[in-house]
Amino acid sequence: MTDKPAIGFIGVGQMGEGMCRRLLAAGYPFAVLAHRNRAPVERLVAEGATEAASAAALAAASNIVILCVSNADVVERTVEAMRPALTRGKIIIDTSTSAPEVTRRLAADLAEHGVTLFDAPLTGGPVQAEAGELGVLLGGPAGSIAEVEPVLRSFARRIEHFGPAGAGHAAKLVNNYLVCGMIALIADTYNAARDLGVDWAKLYSVMQQGSNNSPALQRIVSNAIEGNFDGYRFSLANAQKDMAYYMRLGDGLSGPSELAAAVLEEYDDAIARGLGDFMVSRLIDPDLQD
């Protein structure tokens, strides 16, 4: 028996599997929802998780439900599917990169029924998820953080609270704007280097000694030099989605910048070319250039 809250997890993808494994290792009673990719679900069940037949069944059996899904529309549909089982006192932690306005609306509606929603988008990737070294940009009621912090610490090294519901997602979009901009600029730089006959390996070697060096540069270029253009495990579709959300966020400020619009245009172009399922590091793949 354990006094730890029962956890339900929806979205066992690249990030989710590692997070689930850390929760299992921490000793939480644990259930996952069936996923279109059966392999990670079956691995987790073999390691001690149970599998729920539906979102509502998972919510009914859980004190805390963690979401790690693709976008705000999926978050909304998942919450609606759980709605019959979302009784007073339950908590939802949304680790997806979602739209702050959707988060605020859902949080207000759920609060009327005694259900608490935290937005807890993440920094880091699958490697950090497996190692329990993610970062969490938390939004939600300060008075309830103690209820979710031990759960988050199962897979996160750093947790920062940014304010009420939606604040975590706003901070995440600002974070991802910088990341997506860096990726686009790295891709443009190395495509130019190829066109100019500049040796990639030599250029990368000296870049590592200066201000250009970054994890994004390392993931994209070090692997590409070895012929692996999938070194940065983040899809172009997700990058485009995050930039589109960021532009919506900018509408509430002084307006989206021309630079942000240019970054979004790069990803819009990739989607128009049918590259959405490719990793962002494919932006320097010679076989995919116009």
Catalytically active residues are 172
CA distances from 165 to 65, 172, 204, 253 (A): 16, 13, 41, 18
- Number of Cβ within 10 Å of residue 284's Cβ equals 22
Q: Pull the structure tokens for residue 200.
A: 């990639």
As a whole number of angstroms, the distance between CA 61 and CA 40 comes to: 21
Q: Which helix (H) or strand (E) holds 20?
A: helix 14-25
**Largest Cα–Cα distance in the chain?**
65
As a whole number of angstroms, the distance between CA 222 and CA 215 comes to: 10
Q: Pull the structure tokens for residue 239.
A: 């990058």
β 7-10/116-119 pair status = unpaired
Q: Compute the residue count for the chain.
A: 290
Query: Angle at the Cα of 91 (from 89 to 93), degrees rounded to 5?
Result: 170
Is the Cβ–Cβ distance between 222 and 204 less than 8 Å?
A: yes
As a whole number of angstroms, the distance between CA 278 and CA 271 comes to: 10
Is the Cβ–Cβ distance between 232 and 225 less than 8 Å?
A: no
Q: Is 234 helix (H, G, I), strand (E, B) or coil?
A: coil
119 strand-pairing partners: 94, 139
262 phi and psi, to 5 degrees? -65, -40
